[in-house]
Structure 1
Amino acid sequence: MSRTYKLGVIGLGEGRSIISAALQSERWELINVCDLNEEVCRARREEFGLSRYTLRYEDLLNDPEIEVIAIYTPDQLHGRHILQALEAGKHVIVTKPLLHSLEEASSLLEAAKKAGKLVFVGQSSRFFEPMIHQRKDYEAGRHGEVDTVEAYYISDARWFLKRDWSRQKGFSWMHNFLSHPVDLAKWYLPGIEEVFGYGHSSRVNQEYGLSSPDTLRFLLRDGEGRIAQVSGSYTKPTLRQVDSGIGCTLRGSAGTSRALYSKLLYHTHFAGEGPMTHSYEEKHPYYFRFEGESHHAGEYQNYIEYFADCLDRGETPKPDLLEGIHTLAVMAAMERSRETGRPVKVDELLREYSLPVQGGETDAYANRA
């Protein structure tokens, strides 16, 4: 039986979208919101007609009415904020990346198991309209045997560097941006075992004082020899008139498809029918509720309602904590490959941090009461 769940939100920059999502959802009641910047709090109160806000995360943690905390703080703070929420007995929704490194992963697995609470990683690209339809076609077997995945995220994201925290230690273009196509690749090839690739830091990137490469190209291979190609570029002009920011192409024995973001387009060529283009442009106001197309309110509403459905059924929402950690391990292996110039095994990183290797007990931490 479905019911309404009660939500607290920390981080009201990116959290703007989940505020909109919660207020428009019949499955959620927004209880309180939090940010260190009172000016941002006041702006959200004015924008959404909120009755209250707080500058203290402790107020969310100690509120017995709040069942779920949604975390949209800078990447470097995710680990601490997730741990505090679990210790307070709350379920967690956290924007990607789950963490900025694997160092905190083991303590989070232990805390989630002890608390008996769920951690859901908000990989928004999975919940965009074309990607939803692509997944349905994949699960229906319309692609046949998929053996190649091509995913990319190309964006002139210099605007993102106006955020002070993006120029601080711990920020990574790979974790904050390339995590979208890496997650899409791993969604379809969950058993990625080995990675190889290159990264380059452009002059523009260096002018901002960043060492994290802003141009990235990688190949990923699973245990069956299937291949994913993942790419990203983040500080250069784009060709938005012909390119969509994010794309995911599946190539299989019976068909090929490409789902796009931010264009609401899905291209298919399946056995028994010719090439087709499916447009969902009528849903543009649902997905993009603010200025331009840089926010994710529609995807967030889709995934919080999915999360609520999972809570109703006692199921673990995906990507969960362990899947998020394995995706981080893939990216850590990619970083090592870039640095060493050699292919790197994903389990090599998992073992270094004493984490469950892939194919282990996927729900070991989710022993909920």
Structure 2
Amino acid sequence: MTKQRYRLGVIGLGEGRSIMSAALASERYELVAVCDLNEELCQQRAEEFGFHGWTTKYSDLLENPLIDVIAIYTPDQLHLTHIRQALEAGKHAICTKPLLPSLEGTQELLAIMKGTDKRLFVGQSSRFFEPMLHQRSDYEQERHGALQMVEAQYITDGRWFLEKDWSRQKGFSWMYGFMIHAVDLVRWYLPGVTEVVGFGRSIDAGGESGNGTVDTWDSMRFLLRDGQGRMAQISGNYTMPTLGQAVEPSISCVLRGTNGISRAEYPNLSYHTHFAEQGTASYSFEDKHDYYFRFEGKSHHAGEYQNYIEYFAECLDSGELPLPDASEAIHTLALMAAMERSASGGGQLVRIQDIKDEFGIV
């Protein structure tokens, strides 16, 4: 199979910083042009990466015949428009999560996908972090035995986030901006979740920063069950102290099966297992630290982005459907809508199918 080198355009250079790094470091891509409305940010990225092919007009990317793929890292409410424009221009599209800010627009997006032969891939970066990749490999080798339970969390002291003005605007959501990582990990292993029950709470985050309460849940717990009776637990806390990364990683995914258990962590490059044929074991991938964390501290997701754009290139080469695609991402949004409804209803049990029926999702 011939490996093609794909030509990439990027819109949105805040989070798009990581995709620029990923594309410039990858043998599978040529970075052709980048775009942001903020000219100062464009100049900043040009200086940072020594790449000067920038523009403030998205139309320049859409009309550029050299571009094969457009990577979209704009605000959530613009994703549908930017995806549609990219596909209509004959480009493949990569879009950061969440695919959409809600289930509104899902029918339009699905209709767009039916009318194109181009691919859309949703960048769920946690799937492509080193410990999660090893965990997935062990799962596919059936080392866990029959999977019985998945536990995923995203817990971090995100009070610094509330210093950003836009975090106080209507539509900001810890669930859709943060907890979606844990939700996606659960659906990766239990795609057939049928019902959910849970609670959400807003805690006063004023403290020393004096930020006060934000009108969105910042502490959440959910229990889920699939059609086979297998269960999952999703946890999120965002405005309270943590025990620190060494003890309490921000993101973790635990798989419990009849023959073994594993836990993959982020941002710790750590993976822990206990399989029947092996006993307990812990693995460190710190030798890949500089690949995953290329900027200040342990921030951004350049390594994961390089992993997933190269996975996308492999799918384009082979004709394989890249996952998550639009359909899978929409089903994740349906699950999140059910989670919201359960918490809003004081912990009522909500069937995912009821949500899908309301929005005509098959």
TM (normalized to structure 2)?
0.96
Query: 1:76, 1:171 within 8 Å by CA — same for their partners in 2?
Result: no
Query: 2:202, 2:213 within 8 Å by CA — same for their partners in 1?
Result: no
Shift of residue 169, structure 1, vs aligned partner: 2.1
Query: 1:72, 1:94 within 8 Å by CA — same for their partners in 2?
Result: yes
Distance 1:134 1:269 in 2: 12
Farther-moved stretch of structure 1 (347-356 vs 220-229): 347-356
Farther-moved stretch of structure 1 (6-15 vs 168-177): 168-177
Tell me the SS of whatever aligns to 2:170.
coil
Q: Which amino acid aligns with 1:147?
A: Q
Q: 1:64 to 1:166 in 2, by over 3 A?
A: farther
1:357-368 correspondence runs (5 A): none
For 2:337, the equivalent position in structure 1 comes to 332
Q: Deviations over 1:70-116 (max 9, x none)?
A: 11112222222212212222211111111110001110111122122
Match of 2:349 among 330, 343, 346: 343
Query: 1:156, 1:238 within 8 Å by CA — same for their partners in 2?
Result: yes
Tell me the SS of whatever aligns to 2:54.
coil
For 2:239, the equivalent position in structure 1 comes to 235
Shift of residue 207, structure 1, vs aligned partner: 4.1
Query: 2:96, 2:123 within 8 Å by CA — same for their partners in 1?
Result: yes
For 1:188, the equivalent position in structure 2 comes to 189
Tell me the SS of whatever aligns to 2:279.
coil
Shift of residue 313, structure 1, vs aligned partner: 0.2
For 2:294, the equivalent position in structure 1 comes to 289
Query: 2:163, 2:211 within 8 Å by CA — same for their partners in 1?
Result: no
Distance 1:170 1:330 in 2: 18
Distance 1:347 1:86 in 2: 29
2:280 is equivalent to residue 275 of structure 1: yes
For 2:99, the equivalent position in structure 1 comes to 98
For 2:223, the equivalent position in structure 1 comes to 219
1:299-314 correspondence runs (5 A): 299-314=304-319
Farther-moved stretch of structure 1 (27-36 vs 51-60): 51-60
Match of 2:360 among 348, 354, 364: 354
For 1:246, the equivalent position in structure 2 comes to 251
Farther-moved stretch of structure 1 (240-249 vs 155-164): 155-164
Q: Which amino acid aligns with 2:80?
A: G
Q: Which amino acid aligns with 2:253?
A: C
Query: 1:186, 1:192 within 8 Å by CA — same for their partners in 2?
Result: yes
Distance 2:53 2:164 in 1: 25
Distance 2:296 2:216 in 1: 28
Query: 1:100, 1:171 within 8 Å by CA — same for their partners in 2?
Result: no
Unpaired stretches in structure 1, ≥5 consecutive residues: 357-369
Q: Deviations over 1:143-180 (max 9, x none)?
A: 00011000000111233334443332222111110000
Query: 2:203, 2:213 within 8 Å by CA — same for their partners in 1?
Result: no
1:1-369 correspondence runs (5 A): 1-204=2-205, 207=211, 210-240=214-244, 241-341=246-346, 342-356=348-362
Query: 2:5, 2:27 within 8 Å by CA — same for their partners in 1?
Result: yes
Shift of residue 208, structure 1, vs aligned partner: 5.4
Query: 1:156, 1:236 within 8 Å by CA — same for their partners in 2?
Result: yes
Distance 1:163 1:109 in 2: 33
Q: Which amino acid aligns with 1:351?
A: D
Distance 1:148 1:12 in 2: 38
Distance 2:119 2:354 in 1: 26
Farther-moved stretch of structure 1 (85-94 vs 223-232): 85-94
Distance 2:118 2:355 in 1: 26
Tell me the SS of whatever aligns to 2:136.
helix
Q: Which amino acid aligns with 2:340?
A: E
Identity %: 62
Unpaired stretches in structure 2, ≥5 consecutive residues: none
Shift of residue 353, structure 1, vs aligned partner: 1.1
For 1:360, the equivalent position in structure 2 comes to none
Tell me the SS of whatever aligns to 2:55.
coil
